[in-house]
Amino acid sequence: MLTQEQSQELEVQHGRIAHVRSRQEGEWEVVLKKPKRSDYKMFRSQSHNSSQAADAQEILVRKMVVYPDADTFMAMLEEYPAIPEACTGAVALLTGLAAAADSK
């Protein structure tokens, strides 16, 4: 698992980040950075295409992962294939999808 110092280094390097961890301590942990606008637009397009929708979230999350490295993350997906869906809340926060409307 990441140390506080490693987490701070990732934040300095990538800006806005989000941590997602397994409910079972020590099983898995990922850190995501905010996606590029073009990557998010591609995700939206793929998610509305019936032949690409099943892979859209995984592709987006793979582009956002900054911890662990790509090879380790792919191995984690073999063991825990639903990690991209577990990252839904973090993706919503990092993209601005999770917002509260303020009406007066």
pLDDT value, residue 101: 58
pLDDT value, residue 70: 96
The strand pairing partners of 30, in sequence order, are 20
pLDDT value, residue 102: 60
Residues 31 and 33: their CA atoms lie apart, in Å, by 7
pLDDT value, residue 100: 59
CA distances from 11 to 31, 34, 101 (A): 10, 11, 27
Q: What is the dihedral of CA 17, 20, 21, 22, to 10 degrees?
A: -170
pLDDT value, residue 1: 82
pLDDT value, residue 26: 77
Closest CA to 29 of 39, 42, 38, 20: 20
pLDDT tens track, the chain, 104 positions: 888 999 999 999 999 999 999 988 779 999 999 999 999 999 999 999 999 999 999 999 999 999 999 999 999 999 999 999 999 999 999 999 876 556 55
